[in-house]
Amino acid sequence: MPNWVTHRCTVLAGDCPFRDQGEALDFNRIVPMPEELKIDEILPYHLEERVVKAASTEDPEAAIETESLQEEERAIAFRLLGNLRRFGYASWYSWSCAHWGTQWNACGTPCERDSESVFHFVTAWATPEPLFQAIATKYSNLIAMVEYADQILGQSVGIYRLDEGNLTHEDLTGTVEGRDLAYELNQVTPFWCARCDDRREAIENDPWACNVCGGQLA
């Protein structure tokens, strides 16, 4: 299971692609993935890396032929090689990491709305910064704020600001503001110390440590 990252997008002005997405957010409607990269078969272990390595040789086809692969696996390897030559990426995985910033689409994940201007969605492992950059570029009149927090409290939390074509990022990891935002987005009751078995405040120089016993706040 991945770590899920929760996002809250607040639109302050301008057009936003989230508004017409319905109940599910689909990154393909913003930055579409080429159909040829959507390989449904389960890739053999490290096959994509092996294809990329083969592509760097003088004869990539011959290099793939020398790999210890089943017939079906070899056929997939040649498809990956074709994709790499055409698109610069062998499969959906490397393409989505590069163009969306996360390995999976958010499609199928409820895009909850607090209002016409506030949207919630989740992604796997990381926040989709390349997608936000694409949105900022495409929707040059958009002014919005995207707050995010990893489900592992304190691991990754911050704010992206889209301001009429510009994208900026404020990393709040390790700050009191970031801790409070992580609690809020993950809907966790804040300032609970398991060691004290009670609510506590954090110490001044560590927003995740109990000011009574030094234990981890959760």
* Per-domain residue ranges of the chain: 4-31+101-187, 35-99, 190-218
User: Secondary structure of the chain: what % helix, strand, coil (to 5)?
Assistant: 30, 25, 45
Query: Higher model confidence: residue 42 or residue 46?
Result: 46
Q: DSSP letters of 110-147? A: B-EESSSSEEEEEEESS--HHHHHHHHHH-TT-EEEEE
128 pLDDT more than 80 = yes
Q: Which amino acid is it at 147?
A: E
pLDDT digits 0-9 by tens, 85-108: 898 888 888 899 999 999 888 764
**pLDDT the model gives residue 81:** 84
Closest CA to 19 of 135, 127, 188: 135
Angle made by CA atoms 82, 108, 3, in degrees to the nearest 5 = 85
% of the chain exceeding 90 in pLDDT: 17
Strand segments, DSSP code E, in 143-210 are 143-150, 157-163, 166-171, 192-193, 198-199, 202-203, 206-210
**pLDDT the model gives residue 47:** 80
Four-CA torsion 174, 176, 177, 181, nearest 10 degrees: 80
pLDDT mean across residues, the chain: 80
